[in-house]
Amino acid sequence: MSDEQAHGELVARSSAESVDVDDLAQQLVASAVERQVALTGEGGLLTTLTRRVLQAALEAEMSAHLGYDKHAVAGRDGGNSRNGSSPKTVRTEIGDVQIQVPRDRAGTFEPQIVPKHQRRLAGFDEAVISLYAKGMTTGDIAAHLSQVYDTDVSRDLVSRVTDQVLGEMKAWSARPLDAIYPVILIDAIVLKVREGTVANRPVYVAIGIDLNGFRDVLGLWVGPSGGEGAKQWMNMLSDLKNRGILDACIVCCDGLKGLPEAITAAWPAATVQTCVVHLVRNSLRYASKKYWQAITRDLKRIYTAPSLAAAETEFETFAQQWEPLYPAMVRMWRNSWTEFIPFLDFPVEVRKLIYTTNGIESLNARFRAATRRRGHFPDEQSALKVLYLAVLERQKNRPNPTGQIAGWKNILNVLSMTYGDRLGLN
């Protein structure tokens, strides 16, 4: 008796005897171990079971279509009848499965579990897309499926599978947005994209925090090579406005060139807040590493000051200490002061929310993990596809897509004192 027949008899016998599912699983595994049968691949336990389940389902579909079971007397001379079968290979999450698709004489049978012309079960595509979102390249995925499931998958097939999300991505990028967001975080990452030649291209990322305290990735935009500029930022912000954002109370960004001016043009009443973490990080670029600890300690006294007046006093002390040694560092702080100070008007809970783009930095870390192994992208669409899938993967990992801000009720109460009429909470 073959291994497939043995496994089939065990499944049939356990079904007739109403064996518990856990008991059945243990018996199947024990049988596979005893016979030294692999789990996946040709003749493997899971492959055999999948084949038998699919085959049984197809036969059940045919019986329902014709109105009688296979070999039943009722089917004799009853018009349409079975007419043999056709072999078909179906790709699944556990490897290739060979099945026989039954035919009817009238040619009217349309199987549902494995539709005509479909050679991949849905779970296979979902597995490929998930691996792609986690940073594996098309070559990595093809090699992985070949090694683990003993099935040959071309890189072109992986690309076609992942391209299924392009329609969803287009709809996601054009979806309507809320009329107002209390806080919007904006940043940019740089990817290598081929545009004739491979070039560094900025990808702009925006996250909005809505009135209920939930984060939402508002969009992704690929800019031209050569860095950020006012024109590129205006295109991005115009897209957000066209999709429904009429106002933003606070927009936190990394002091990107041309962005503060573009924000003011798009939402004149918005408060522009420079990311303090980025300011501190940029400060250290000007200083010797042996002074980093002292500089960060002195800067902390500035951004944790209880008031604007206290922060100004701390800054003057900082300038007296470090300007003779690092004048460019101090000049950077003077130039950024107007966009640095808005958060000082708020209590600690709100300060933590708006003085850093850490929320978007966390997302950028996921983007970097998804793109690290790819070297460069053949076009903009490929780059956006990977980032979009990384966004979806993050949503699947949490019951709440991107998480509600801790202590949001208290934060909203404070924000409403300043922006109450604009928030529309009355």
The parent domain of residue 412 ranges over 178-423
Mean pLDDT, residues 403-416 taken together: 84
Q: Is residue 24 part of a domain?
A: no
Average pLDDT over residues 89-103: 69
What does the alpha-carbon distance between residue 243 and residue 169 come to, in Å, rounded to a whole number?
15
Give, for 262, the enclosing helix (H) or strand (E). Answer: helix 259-266
**3-class DSSP assignment, residue 91:** strand
pLDDT of residue 423 exceeding 80:
yes
DSSP-assigned beta bridge partners for residue 90: 97
Region 142-159: mean pLDDT is: 64
Across residues 258-286, what is the average pLDDT? 89
pLDDT confidence band for 241 (50 / 70 / 90): very high
Q: Is residue 397 part of a domain?
A: yes
The two three-digit tokens of residue 345, written as one number? 């008007």
Q: Is 270 helix (H, G, I), strand (E, B) or coil?
A: coil
Q: Closest by alpha carbon to 301, among 276, 275, 278?
A: 276
Q: Tens digit of pLDDT for each residue in 219-230? A: 999 888 765 566
**Which range among 14-23, 256-265, 301-310 has the greatest average pLDDT?**
301-310
Residue 39 lies in a domain: no
DSSP string, 28-89: HHHHHHHTT--SSSTT-HHHHHHHHHHHHHHHHHHHHHHTS-TT-GGGTTSSS-EEEEEEEE
Encode pLDDT of 314-346 as tens digits: 999 999 999 999 999 999 999 989 889 988 988
The whole-number pLDDT of residue 101 equals: 77
Q: pLDDT exceeding 90 applies to what percent of the chain? A: 24
192 pLDDT more than 60: yes
The pLDDT of residue 173: 93
Q: Of 10-24, 132-146, 291-305, which has the strongest mean pLDDT?
A: 291-305
Q: Residue 401 — pLDDT band, cuts 50, 70, 90?
A: very low
Q: What is the pLDDT of residue 270?
A: 92
The count of structural domains within the chain is: 1
Q: Does residue 387 fall inside a structural domain? A: yes
> In this predicted structure, what is the pLDDT of residue 399?
41
pLDDT value at 16 more than 50? no
For the chain, the average pLDDT equals: 78
| pLDDT tier for residue 299 given thresholds of 50, 70 and 90 | very high
What does the alpha-carbon distance between residue 43 and residue 65 come to, in Å, rounded to a whole number? 30
What is the pLDDT, as a whole number, of residue 157? 66
Q: Higher-confidence residue: 343 or 424?
A: 343
Listed residue (240, 182, 176) closest to 210, CA to CA: 182
Contact at 8 Å (CB) between 204 and 236?
A: yes
Pair 363, 208: CB distance under 8 Å: no
Instruction: State the pLDDT at residue 21.
Output: 46
Residue (of 416, 4, 367, 9) closest to 213 by Cα position: 416
In a domain, 134, yes or no: no
Here the tokens at position 181 are: 């967001």
Q: According to the model, what pLDDT value does residue 146 have?
A: 64
| Phi–psi pair at 234, nearest 5 degrees | -65, -40
- Could you report how far apart the first and last alpha carbons of the chain are, in Å? 77
pLDDT in tens, 32-79: 555 555 555 565 555 665 666 666 666 777 787 777 777 777 666 667
All residues at 6 or more sequence positions from 217 whose CB lies less than 8 Å from its CB, including other chains:
205, 206, 207, 363, 391, 402
One-letter amino acid at 399 equals P
The rounded distance, in Å, linking the Cα atoms of 44 and 66 is: 33
Would you place residue 29 in the very low, low, confident or very high pLDDT band (cuts 50, 70, 90)?
Answer: low
Angle at 164 between CA 158 and CA 168, to 5 degrees: 145
415 within some domain: yes
How many C-beta atoms lie closer than 10 Å to residue 60's C-beta? Answer: 13
Report pLDDT digits (tens) over 348-375.
Answer: 878 888 877 667 777 888 888 888 877 7
Q: Is residue 306 situated within a structural domain?
A: yes
pLDDT, average across residues 296-324: 94
CB 323: neighbour CB atoms within 10 A? Answer: 15
In the predicted model, what is the mean pLDDT of residues 82-95?
A: 72
DSSP state letter for 121: -
Q: Is the pLDDT of residue 2 over 90?
A: no
Does 107 map to a domain?
A: no
Q: What are phi and psi of 131, to 5 degrees?
A: -65, -40
